[in-house]
Every structure is written in C-alpha cells, then in structure tokens.
Chain A
C-alpha cells in the first residue's frame, strides 16, 4: 500500500510569512495526526483528526496555527505568521480507527521548515 504522502519536503521562509503543509494519509485511514519535531526533541502532537472532526488540538498554538481535513481525507496545516521557534520538522501520520488490536501509526517523511 502507498504510504503517507507529505509535501513539500523542505521549506524556507522569513519570519512573519505564512506557510502551508499538505498531507495525504493512507487510503481508508480514518485518523490523521500532525506532529511537530523540534531539533533534538521527540515529536509532539499538534492535532488529531478522526475523519474530518478534531479529536485533540490541546497543544496547537491556535493564534498562529490552523489545520483542516476537508472530506476526511487530505489535510493541510498552516502557520500564519511564522516565528523563528516554528523551525522544525512537521510529521503527518495516519492510522485506521477504530483499530484497538493494532496501535501503531504510519508516518510520512515530514516537511522540514526553516524560519529565518
């Protein structure tokens, strides 16, 4: 099966600009996650969708970050305006839900964002 697709792979922007990342999960996976991985740290969940509804966005900085998953398939994550501390790898992952017998995400290769 095809994996989780993310684009772009790299992005460099100036602070205060806006940026958007795109994710296409594995076909049929109901749950989609966006994680932020700052250099030297483990990934941190930003937002979790189940179909097109939000399950958990408690760690999403809502003053500048937004995400949507229209039609319960593809998702976009937007940052506006970007700050220097937003420099990180943004990982998208998906999982079939409910699947209480096989917890384990499939991750994409991420987008590396550099804010200068």
Chain B
C-alpha cells in the first residue's frame, strides 16, 4: 500500500519570502503521479501542481515549483514570493497509474501561514 508523509504539521513565512514544504512517499510502483493540493478555509481542494513520475524535469507553475527526487521518494513544494492568499492547508498526494482506480492517497497536510 502507498503511504504519504508530511513531516511538518505547521509552517509560517513572511510575505514575499520563500518557503518549502516537505513530502515523502512510499511505493513499489514505477508509474504514478504526485500532486500538491491547497485547501483554504472554504474546504475546496485546489490543485496547485502535479508531477509525472516518468518525467525527470521538475514541474513549475508560476510561483510554485517542486523538487522531485524519485530515488529518494521525495516531493517537496517551493512557494516563492509568498502572498497572504497562500495561507491554507497544503496536502501532498499520490496516484498510482496501475489498474483502474485513480485513487488519491493524501498525507496529513501542512498548515501554512503567510504573515504580513
């Protein structure tokens, strides 16, 4: 079974600075996707960024980028130029592409607070 671990329950950062959220996962599969989701108080899970395991190049989306280390099974999220609107829970998630189920396995989340 796949597991996802986020070792930082809470993080804080000053506005305009950079913060990195950590995520490790455990799987014996070779074909999978990794995701970072943002969950503001509205509760809706919002996709931030995704990474295909077969791609060596790290994904980037504007101020968000990942450091994907496949051998180490590590998938960290870097947020540059942090903004107050980035305050939210952030969840790392794994999707196994083998078989028919497209189940997301989530970590426990990191609560990020951006301070003015």
Contacts and interface: CB of A to CB of B under 8 A. Distances in A.
Contacts of A105: 45, 47, 104
A55 B50 contact: no
A43 B101 contact: no
B101 A103 contact: no
Given A45-B103, A48-B101, A55-B100, A110 B108 contact: no
Nearest to A100: B97
Interface residues of B, number: 23
A109 B41 CA distance: 10
A43 B102 contact: no
B102 A95 contact: yes
Interface string A81-101: 000000001010101010000
A104 B103 contact: no
A21 interface: no
A112 interface: yes
A25 interface: no
B44 interface: yes
B45 A104 contact: no
A48 B103 CA distance: 8
Interface string B76-116: 00000000000000010101010011111011110000000
B35 interface: yes
Nearest to B106: A42
Interface of A: 3, 31, 35, 40-45, 48, 50, 55-56, 89, 91, 93, 95, 97, 103-105, 107-110, 112
Sort A-B residue pairs by CB-CB distance and give the 7 closest, nearest first: A42-B106, A107-B45, A56-B101, A110-B43, A109-B44, A45-B103, A104-B47
